Homo-oligomer: A and B are copies of this chain.
């Protein structure tokens, strides 16, 4: 097993490094006072510190189920398995389906590809186009694999989203037989409109992965799998063997925080506004400072993806790292030799000053290169 490029890069940076690399939320937006109050409340009871249920805290599972119900996607607590982040959610599912083949988007989420390798899942990579995975190839591949991993909302790394028509088309294909793993960490961080999940159109053949890492705070390490009971049931033994149950303290804190109906909704609303602005600023700065960088503005999420023609971005990163700025070169998101000119920029973390300074450093490196 190779280590995660992003996690390793992040450990080699210091507090002075400007990071456009990880999918990190902006720390100053964390609702830490509200979560602190919740912690203060729940830790009055010693029982919160005891072992918990393998599937997770029932009251929290009910609240998560309710998010789905509010969107018209009928869900009960029994359809929710709480996991140690959605990273573990995907690992549990892939461990259950180990040694199969899986249809994935290319480029795709690095952490997912590591999980596929770990579970000996053979990846069948289908090109991601502007509004969907390429349908004809998808259909052909899915007929064989009967298992797919998709990130339809503000995809990692590309920031692209599936259109409503393509979601329906995929559902029609997948309904013929097989399972979809729909990873949706960014889905509520839309700048314009919410999209219907593919899972809601095929609830009996889908795992829908959610998390509080992007909408509240990653350190809580709470994610979940939403699935039909018959799909979820066999996963419980895996979850138990892997870490008994998810963190009881942060589950209780979350459950308390969510008992105020409006707090979470207001917070996500705040994030949408703030990240929308940050994306705009980053995009404008790119056009001004790095005009060679070709990209499409994302409609949500945390990433701007694009390319600098004739530039090996992996080599560029090595220089950038020395100059105190980091990003993820596109090659990391492919399992073959593609993506050499591509870059993923995270726009949610850095301040405006850091964006200008970081992009200027990259621009200088590009100018230097062209002079040599």
Using a CB–CB cutoff of 8 Å, the interface residues on chain A facing chain B are: 1-4, 7, 10-11, 22, 24-25, 27-28, 30, 32-33, 35-36, 39-40, 43-54, 84-85, 87-88, 91, 95, 111, 114-115, 117-118, 213, 216-221, 234, 236-238, 240-250, 252-253
Main secondary structure of the interface of A (DSSP, over half): helix
Contact in complex: A248, B219 (CB < 8 Å): yes
**CB contact between A3 and one of B24, B47, B118, B236 (< 8 Å): that residue:** B236
- Kindly name the residue among A53, A91, A117, A236 whose own CB sees the greatest number of chain B CB atoms within 10 A: A236
Copies in the complex: 2
Tell me how far the C-beta of A136 lies from the nearest C-beta in chain B, rounded to whole angstroms.
Answer: 32
Contact in complex: B32, A43 (CB < 8 Å): yes
Q: A114 to B242: give the CA distance in the assembly, Å.
A: 9
Residues of chain B contacted by A85 (CB below 8 angstroms): 243-244
**CB contact between A118 and one of B117, B238, B245 (< 8 Å): that residue:** B238
**CB contact between A52 and one of B51, B91, B219 (< 8 Å): that residue:** B219
**CB contact between A246 and one of B10, B40, B221, B238 (< 8 Å): that residue:** B221
Contact in complex: A50, B32 (CB < 8 Å): no
Contact in complex: B50, A219 (CB < 8 Å): yes
Q: A236 to B4: give the CA distance in the assembly, Å.
A: 9
Q: A184 to B240: give the CA distance in the assembly, Å.
A: 19
Q: A247 to B254: give the CA distance in the assembly, Å.
A: 13
Residues of chain B contacted by A249 (CB below 8 angstroms): 39, 217, 219-221, 247, 249-250, 253
Residues of chain B contacted by A115 (CB below 8 angstroms): 241
Q: A25 to B249: give the CA distance in the assembly, Å.
A: 16
